[in-house]
Amino acid sequence: MKILSKNLIKLRDIKTFKFKKAMINYQHVEIVNHFMKKPLILVINCGSSSLKFSLMDPKTGEESLNGIAQCLLSDNANISFKVNGEKQVLALLPPFDHNTAIVELVNFITKNNLFEQITAIGHRVVHGGEKYHQPTLITPQVKNEIAKLAKLAPLHNPANLVGIEATEKVFSHLLQVAIFDTAFHQTMPEKAYIYGLPYNLYQEHGIRRYGFHGTSHYFVTQRASSLLQKPLEQCNFISAHLGNGCSISAIVNGKSVDTSLGFTPLEGVVMGTRSGDIDPSIIFYLVEQLGYSLDQVNTLLNKESGLLGISGISNDCRTIEEQLLAGNKRAKLAIDVFCYRIAKKIASFSASLDNLDGLIFTGGIGENSNTIRSLILNQLSLLGFKANEQLNEEIRFGKQGNINDTTSRPCWVIPTNEEWVIAEQTQHLLINKGM
């Protein structure tokens, strides 16, 4: 400061000094802002006519924004954003596709001054086959593999790729990571994933059980191990992800050893609109005796069966429960079949375990329906489960906790957070690769 004595400084110097000082202050503000701004991961979950997104702090799971573009490729295409609990819906412009949705998303992110905080993009990819059991940096070669795997997941992988390519166009400066839904189940032993079919169908065509909902099962088992305060590598659980799609998994030493979804997400327990396990001969009967085409059988098993097919009312568990209370017999039957099949599957997984630390419920139904949980637990008394009805009623709508009676094995409700797993694993991959 000494050299700034008025006598020594000309007007031009003063201006320069002020400017420099201003620059220093500006830089200081930038640095402070830089430290205040959290790095965020953009999580993309792209379906054939929808694109879900979340902008998330991978450390805390806190979302700066989330939303969904729906009814894509139709005139009703729209996108909704949720920031600080406030929702905003915009109609999308022609051609109403995934690219239009991404452009609107980028506009919104930019308007909210969040663009520069995004450090990477994590994509949910449904099928990683046997090749991908880890989060994977997306390269042209990985995209080719995801495209090849579309023959195993024709509804999902092409849509996931559309999301990746639409995102790449606008975020070309950022790395993109694929998190595969099948990855967590790649630890299943052969005896759990080989079908009772000629072995060459597996060797030559990859026909085996893969399992899905991996990120959800992974998230809730991690949470359950912290609730138990026991290292995950020493924990054995059965987790039940019950949403529109449902899957049960057996976890030994923190790793998946069996799961109810198989070659596709059609196998296993009864779901919202999917049949789950049926005698395969029913398909021949439908085609040969009842004149169904293969397309019709596909639609029947995937979209017209399950809770919807049995009840004839809805695939939505809330609606069926309302009808159950109103005395509707088909609603009761749908719920009875649904719960019995789930209880049977849980019991069957006792063959995979030599001890069990507890049962976990998650997914829209698992997190919210005390009726379904109670019916399932009541059918598992031989395995030592009993619900505490008061806790079971209380732990809903985003709450986490035990719902078992003191005499019962532990049973928890744990709200899933697949987006957080994707954000976290994307961040880890970048750190591990030194990026």
**Contact stretch for ligand ADP (CB under 6 A) within 71-79, 278-286, 333-341, 363-371:** 363-371
**Rounded-to-integer distance, Cα 403 and Cα 307, Å:** 25
The CB-of-320 to ligand ADP minimum distance in angstroms stands at 8
* 300-319 positions binding ligand ADP, by CB under 6 A: 316-318
User: Of residues 265, 363, 410, 415, which one binds ligand ADP by CB under 6 A?
Assistant: 363
User: Of residues 122, 243, 262, 276, which one binds ligand ADP by CB under 6 A?
Assistant: 243
Which token pair is 47?
Answer: 């379906």
**Is 140 or 398 the residue whose CB approaches ligand ADP more closely?**
398
- 45 annotated binding-site participant: yes
Q: What is the DSSP letter of 336?
A: H
Q: Which residues of 74-112 are buried (b: 16+ CB within 10 A; e: fewer)?
A: eeebbbebebeeeeeebebeeebbbbbbbbbbbebbeee
User: Of residues 368, 392, 417, 425, which one binds ligand ADP by CB under 6 A?
Assistant: 368
**Is 121 or 335 the residue whose CB approaches ligand ADP more closely?**
335
- 46 annotated binding-site participant: no
Handedness of CA 318, 323, 329, 332 (dihedral sign): positive
45 binds ligand ADP (CB under 6 A): no
Q: Could you tell me which residues come within 8 angstroms of residue 343 by beta carbon, excluding any fewer than 6 positions away?
A: 376, 379, 380
Which residue is closest to ligand ADP by CB? Answer: 364
Residue type, 117: Q
The CB-of-48 to ligand ADP minimum distance in angstroms stands at 14
The CB-of-269 to ligand ADP minimum distance in angstroms stands at 13
- Three-class secondary structure of residue 178 per DSSP: strand
**Contact stretch for ligand ADP (CB under 6 A) within 194-202, 357-365, 382-390, 424-432:** 357-365
The DSSP-derived string for 293-326 is -HHHHHHHHHHS-HHHHHHSS-S-HHHHHHHHHT
In 72-213, which ranges are continuous DSSP H helix? 98-111, 140-148, 157-170, 190-193, 199-205
* 17-36 positions binding ligand ADP, by CB under 6 A: none
Confirm whether 181 is a catalytic residue.
yes
* Per-position x/- string for 314-343, each x denoting binding to ligand ADP as judged by CB under 6 A, each - no binding: --xxx--x----------------------
Handedness of CA 228, 232, 237, 238 (dihedral sign): positive
- 398 annotated binding-site participant: no
Catalytic residue among 181, 279, 336, 354: 181
CA distances to 180, 188, 218 from 45, in Å: 11, 25, 17
**Rounded-to-integer distance, Cα 67 and Cα 52, Å:** 6
User: Of residues 58, 67, 163, 272, which one binds ligand ADP by CB under 6 A?
Assistant: 272
Handedness of CA 335, 181, 79, 77 (dihedral sign): negative
- Three-class secondary structure of residue 235 per DSSP: coil
- 107 annotated binding-site participant: no
- 330 annotated binding-site participant: no
Q: Contacts with ligand ADP: how many residues (CB under 6 A)?
A: 13
**Is 98 or 124 the residue whose CB approaches ligand ADP more closely?**
124
- 133 annotated binding-site participant: no
Q: Which residue has tokens 């986490």?
A: 400
Peptide bond into 158 cis (omega under 30): no
**Contact stretch for ligand ADP (CB under 6 A) within 9-17, 112-120, 237-245, 379-387:** 237-245
CA-nearest of 263, 264, 296, 297 to 281 is: 297
**Contact stretch for ligand ADP (CB under 6 A) within 50-58, 147-155, 168-176, 364-372:** 364-372
User: Of residues 261, 324, 365, 411, which one binds ligand ADP by CB under 6 A?
Assistant: 365
Annotated binding residues for ATP = 52, 241-245, 316-318, 364-368
Binding site for ligand ADP (CB under 6 A): 243-245, 272, 316-318, 321, 363-365, 368-369
Annotated binding residues for substrate = 124
Residues involved in catalysis: 181
Annotated binding residues for Mg(2+) = 45, 418
